[in-house]
Structure 1
Amino acid sequence: MTSVEKQIKRWTKAIVYPDMWVNPDDDPRNSAGVSRDGELATLQDYLSDYRLTLRMKCDGLTPEQLAQRSVPPSTMSLLGLLRHLAEVERDWRNWIAPGAPLSKLYGPRDTDFEGVLPEQSMVDAAYADLAREQAATDEELAAHLDLGERLGSDGIAVRELLVHRIEEYARHCGHADLLRECIDGRVGQ
């Protein structure tokens, strides 16, 4: 058994369903009742829920914990994930927007992960960057309600872009599950 396994006890805040992150009444995901109708609404709801899940996995942690690379030898951290997803949101706009590509937010490849520091100013900037980039990509796509419409020089369908965004967040929420459990033992969906 490693030193991490000896020190950290698994726990959850949920009482009603112990495999959940929080109790149903405290869960902001899918809290509006029955899901909206239609494919676009469904895709948007899933994206919103995964975005919230990532934020929930980061809530309550210090800058040191958010910057912790808790699954060696990976350079991944929760703070790095926030920065990475801001970078990815920006890059998706490069796929569909005309003109010169937007510059990288954090520098060359993998700087979003490798450049993290356990500082509150970096945490605040990462959350602000992510919110700004999500809003900009959402705004860009809001003008394209036909899911079959092809955008950008590669002709990517709006549907494909939305599904890819969901996949990216879902994948990284899985990483966030492991990172968070290694940091303080908290588990749940």
Structure 2
Amino acid sequence: MTERPARWTQATVYPDMWANPDDDPRNSEGPTPDGELPTLQDFLTNYRLTLRMKCEGLSPEQLARRSVPPSTMSLLGLVRHLAEVERDWRNWITDGDPLPKLYGRRDADFDEAVGEQAVVDAAFADLEREQAATDAVLAAYPNLGEHVGRERIAVRELLVHRIEEYARHCGHADLLRECVDGRVGQ
């Protein structure tokens, strides 16, 4: 990128926030989740929302814009990557044959993230479908200590790993979005 966009935020209450508290879907009134499983699910939900928020309002070309060479990382690539890893996590917890990769070859999730509306629409549909499918499989295992699948992974470990993956990539999304149009905030 040759141009440096000016840094800005939509927030008026706290200048380091992405949005004002009343406009932030991650803010909820009332008590915090009670128990380990609801707490983990709440964190996962909020990171999923954060990723979507970082992508909102951008054109397909902006979503596909790479960060800095030689990186192939883009916001659209992150969406595709997280759809791919949701599927991969589901493979960890099932006993059957693994599902094939969504985008074929290794790194195609990033390499083929091009600025076309059809690719953007497909990526978000893939992400929603894969999240829902993994959530549905995990719903059958309310005992976080249960070990499941061919790998005999603990449900707790899988949930924490998913949160870690989304949190790490939301950090990438912060920087990518700032490079695209200068918008900043948590």
> Is the shorter-chain TM-score for this pair beyond 0.5, marking a shared fold?
yes
Matches within 5 A, 1:52-91: 52-91=49-88
Q: 1:188 is aligned with what amino acid? A: G
State the Cα deviation string for residues 53-83 of structure 1 (Å, max 9, x = none).
0000000000000000023221000000000
Percentage of pairs with the same residue? 75
SS in 1 for 2:97: coil
Matches within 5 A, 1:1-189: 3-4=2-3, 7-189=4-186
Unpaired runs of 5+ in structure 2? none
CA distance in 1, matches of 2:21, 2:124: 25
SS in 1 for 2:62: helix
CA distance in 2, matches of 1:113, 1:139: 26
Unpaired runs of 5+ in structure 1? none
Using the TM superposition, name which of 103-112 and 28-37 deviates more.
28-37
SS in 1 for 2:67: coil
Q: TM-score, normalised by structure 2?
A: 0.97
CA distance in 2, matches of 1:33, 1:176: 29
Using the TM superposition, name which of 43-52 and 66-75 deviates more.
66-75
Contact 1:29/1:49 (CA < 8 Å) preserved in 2?
yes
Contact 1:150/1:158 (CA < 8 Å) preserved in 2?
yes
CA distance in 2, matches of 1:70, 1:171: 16
Aligned residues: 186
Task: State the 1:98 CA deviation.
Answer: 1.3
CA spacing shift, 1:64–1:163, aligned 2, 3 Å? same
Task: State the 1:32 CA deviation.
Answer: 4.1
Q: TM-score, normalised by structure 1?
A: 0.96
**CA RMSD of superposed structures (Å):** 1.0
